[in-house]
Amino acid sequence: MKIVGVVACTVGIAHTYMGQEAIEVEAQKRGYDYKVETQGGMGIDNELFDEEIEAADYVIMATSIGIEMPERFDQKKEDGKVFHMDPSVVIKNASAVFDDIEATLNINK
């Protein structure tokens, strides 16, 4: 399984990077390939490229603000493979977020 994510919070500091860490830790626990882009106070870090987005099974969009270059995710949105939430949701319980996504995609563990 390959996932990509984008995390961006209002201030672009704490929750952005806490959300990134929560996604990465949970993805690693589940043995998934992953890459998480942050759009924080320092700008875009760990930028996702079109090829990485296309190859992903799903996208976690943990954002509380608009992001730069949202059109990169248009096809995944059309395919129903983008899961939106506030960064606080993934920070509080990344495991439940992944469980919900897997249930939606009918992934057997």
Show the tokens assigned to 46.
């760990």
How many other C-beta atoms lie within 10 A of the C-beta of residue 36? 22
Active-site residues, by number, are 9
How deeply is 23 buried, as exposed, middle or buried, from its count of CB atoms within 10 A (0-12, 13-18, 19+)? buried
